Amino acid sequence: MRLKTIHRWGWPLFIFSALVCAALSGCGGGGASSTSSPNSNSPAVSVSASTLVFPSLALGAVSSAQSLIVTNSGGDAISVSSIAASGDFAQSNTCGTSLAAGANCTVSVTFTPTALGSRTGTLSITDSVAGSPQQVSLSGTGVSASGPAVTLAPASYTFSSQVVNTTSASEDVTLTNSGGAPMTLSGVSVTGDFAQTNSCGSSVAAGASCTVSVTFTPTAVGSRSGTVSFADNAPRSPQTIQLVGTGAIAGQLVESPTSISFGSVVVGQTSSQAVTITNSGGQTISVNSASTSGAGVGVAGLSLPLTLAANQSTTFNITFDPTSSGLVSGTVSLTNSGTVASVTIPVTGTGTAAPSHEVTLAWSASTSQVLGYYTYRGTVTGGPYTKLSSTYSAQTTYADQNVVAGDTYFYVVTALGTDSVESAYSNEAKATVPTP
């Protein structure tokens, strides 16, 4: 009489095989592929600006220098044969006769008007790159030393992102009368989501300066633009500075994905899925608490309180550990003291009963006359064994349904003779129950 085991588990082997295929990224054919990008060593030159505009300046005076950055963005060194400025403009540079790959140099340009009115010129950079020379347009205005002239600094200003309907810190614009006579100022005005205060009064003496303080109060989300303008008796009035800023929301959490579906999960097991939350607003916000609803819905890997700067993200796990069979609909909510930083993620999942397991034993009938058979089970090889039924069975099979997933069992069988004498144990059979 030889004992063998027939294992009947909770789901078919082909499902396991399909899961293995998925884990191995597919069981079908197909060759590997690769991509490559060309390795270009061609020289390329870029200049940091295509135009330079100088403020109005008295005849014969020399302006402050404005700088340009010349960059070799290619893979080989380039030669520089000449750098020259035309018209009422002069240059000095740090470029030398060669510029290495990835290197840059500085060209400084000054303006000395030789005549009244608009003055133009060109900065030309002659080198070994195709399309040479690279050129930058230069312009400025010559004014009489006996009349007023306006110089503004900076020439434009970009404000940092600002929460809608809040006011930024002030930024200063300096107006200088660079001429030789007093300047009459009839007004300072702004457009767009900007405001100004100034110390200029109605007149600015020759060589003197005054300050205009500009603030930004965005009325909507997104890019906002405007100007600050000066009406005066100097050439090219009104002089204008461009203003730019961005309106932002105070703070808002954005979740990805926006909902979680766990599908079927065996009761007693835990499944998890990752969720990323991002602060898409313009200010730092804090997440102070997390709450859940739905039996078995939980959160893992989220340390609170949590601080997120603008555009910063964090990832945590939503878990599902069903306690009973059936559909579960719940939520995970993250909040702080303000509703703008709150988010709720719907969660669904179905708890399913653990698959039933049994170990089926089969053996050959005894060649002697017997009344029946007893089945024994142990948890270690060689016993001790426990009789599974107090009554014998005439069948040569036995189904042990009282087994636990993950445990290993050892079985033997005895035969009960017609004289009511029980035989010795059969050979031992081993069975390990899978999980779940």
> Minimal CA–CA distance to 213: which of 161, 159, 162, 250?
159
Domain assignment of residue 169, yes or no: yes
pLDDT per residue as tens digits for the range 72-86: 988 889 999 999 999
CA atoms of 148 and 239, how far apart (whole Å): 13
The CATH number that applies at residue 221 is: 2.60.40.10
Per the listing, tokens 């200003």 go with: 157
- Among residues 355, 351, 356, 292, the alpha carbon closest in space to that of 321 is found at 351
% helix, strand, coil for the chain, step of 5: 5, 50, 45
Residue 224 and residue 247 in contact, taking contact as beta carbons nearer than 8 Å: yes
The partner residues of 51 in beta bridges, in order of sequence, read 137
Last residue of a domain, one of 310, 333, 352: 352
Confidence of residue 3 (pLDDT cuts 50, 70, 90): low
What is the distance between the alpha carbons of residues 94 and 96, in angstroms, rounded to a whole number? 6
Examine the fold and report which residue of 352, 370, 385 is the final residue of a domain before the chain moves on.
352
DSSP state of 169: P
Same domain, yes or no: 294 and 337: yes
Question: Is residue 173 a part of any domain in this protein?
Answer: yes
Residues 112 and 190 in one domain: no
How far apart CA 358 and CA 339 sit, in angstroms, is 54
Average pLDDT in the chain: 86
Residue 7 resides in a domain: no
322 φ/ψ angles, rounded to the nearest 5 degrees: -65, 140
Residues 76 and 136 in one domain: yes
Give the residue, 381 or 247, on which the prediction is more confident.
Answer: 381
Q: Which domain holds residue 259?
A: 253-352
C-alpha of 77 from chain center: 37
C-alpha 324/C-alpha 22 separation (Å) is: 28
Distances (CA, A) of 378 to 206, 423, 426: 108, 18, 13
Q: What percent of the chain has pLDDT over 70?
A: 89
Tell me the pLDDT band of 41, cut-offs 50, 70 and 90. Answer: low
Triad 397, 399, 404: Cα angle to 5°: 150
> What is the value of pTM for the model shown?
0.40
Q: How far is CA 347 from the centre of its chain?
A: 23
Number of domains in the chain: 4
- CB 257, CB 248: distance < 8 Å: no
Among left, alpha and beta (phi > 0; psi -120 to 50; other), residue 263 is: left
Q: What is the dihedral of CA 95, 99, 102, 108, to 10 degrees?
A: 10
Two tokens, residue 426:
């059969």
Assigned domain for 64 exists: yes
Q: Is 95 helix (H, G, I), strand (E, B) or coil?
A: coil
Q: How far apart are CA 116 and CA 61, in angstroms?
A: 12
Which residue in this structure is represented by tokens 């089926």?
360
Q: Same domain, yes or no, for 282 and 227? A: no
Beta-strand pair 57-58/134-143: parallel
pLDDT at residue 101 is higher than 80: yes
Given a cut of 70, whether residue 334 has pLDDT beyond it is yes
3-state DSSP assignment of residue 340: helix
The pLDDT value recorded for residue 24 is 30
Residue 227 lies in a domain: yes
Say whether both 228 and 301 belong to one domain. Answer: no
Give the model's confidence band at 37: pLDDT under 50 very low, under 70 low, under 90 confident, else very high: very low
Structural domain includes residue 75? yes
Instruction: Dump pLDDT digits (tens) for 152-202.
Output: 889 899 998 888 888 999 999 999 888 888 999 999 999 999 999 999 999
Up-side HSE of residue 95: CA atoms within 13 Å toward CB? 30
